Amino acid sequence: MVVTFDFDDTLLYRSIEFDEDGDVVMPHKIVGDGRNPTGFYHLMEHLDAGDEVHIVTSRLAAKLPEVDEWLQKWGVRGRIRGVHATNMMWKVSKLKELGSSIHYDDDLEELSKLPPSIKGVNIPPHPSWLAGGVG
């Protein structure tokens, strides 16, 4: 089975802060050890089951080395079939191309674009995203 995961806030755990005007303070802060506990649990579950796992991020392709480095740090890069960037475009085309059966993402709008053939699973981001009305 082909399974896909978003990266930012689905696997990489980050919090956000707001300034006094309610604007998001950049960059987002990595939380704890940097792993979203829910997303990483599901990643390991699929890897251990022998599923073909891909990371599909809307990051720019130039940012993929950061994703590879993080996956290497957590000892899973060699088990991930591919890491793909959509360059700020919706992920659905890449998911169809890969033949994804299940896609994990923190972005409800991304999940709403999935066809019935791809099961979408919402992974909650860090609670600070929800507290600020973002997510």
DSSP letter assigned to residue 68: H
Candidates 29, 24, 53, 20; CA nearest to 39 is: 53
What average pLDDT does the chain have? 90
Domain boundaries, the chain: 2-131
**Residue 135 confidence (pLDDT):** 40
- Strand boundaries in 39-86, DSSP class E: 52-57, 82-85
**In whole angstroms, what is the distance from residue 17 CA to residue 26 CA?**
8
For the whole prediction, is pTM greater than 0.85?
yes
Summarize pLDDT for 20-69 with one digit per residue, the tens: 887 777 666 776 678 999 999 999 999 999 999 999 999 999 999 999 99
CATH code that applies to domain 2-131: 3.40.50.1000
